[in-house]
Amino acid sequence: MATEGRARKGIGSVETAVRLLRIIEQAPGPLSLTQIARAAEFQLSKTHHYLVSLVRSGLVAQATESGLYTLGGYALQLGVAALGQIGRAHV
């Protein structure tokens, strides 16, 4: 186990994906690719590649007509599961 105060090594791409998810989650409505890239301070191509994977996973949804992005069905499933685990002992 890592000692306190020492940073643990993580996976940068996971942290990048979570950053995009947080941007979408905190938005007042659906966002365009450009809006997400600008908020994340990423290039459009990098943002697009991540969003493709997030859409495939169900964490993000893209409207077919407008192309705008919102949280997807799997994000909702995770939220419901998290609510169901509140108060349970974590091992």
pLDDT class of 1 with cuts at 50, 70, 90: very low
Give me the pLDDT at residue 87, please: 74
Say yes or no to pLDDT of 3 above 90: no
What is the spatial distance between Cα 62 and Cα 4, in angstroms, rounded to a whole number?
41
Where is average pLDDT lowest: 42-51, 66-75, 76-85? 76-85
Per-residue pLDDT tens digits for 9-62: 999 999 999 999 999 999 999 999 999 999 999 999 999 999 999 999 999 999
Give me the pLDDT at residue 91, please: 52
Average of per-residue pLDDT across 1-9: 68
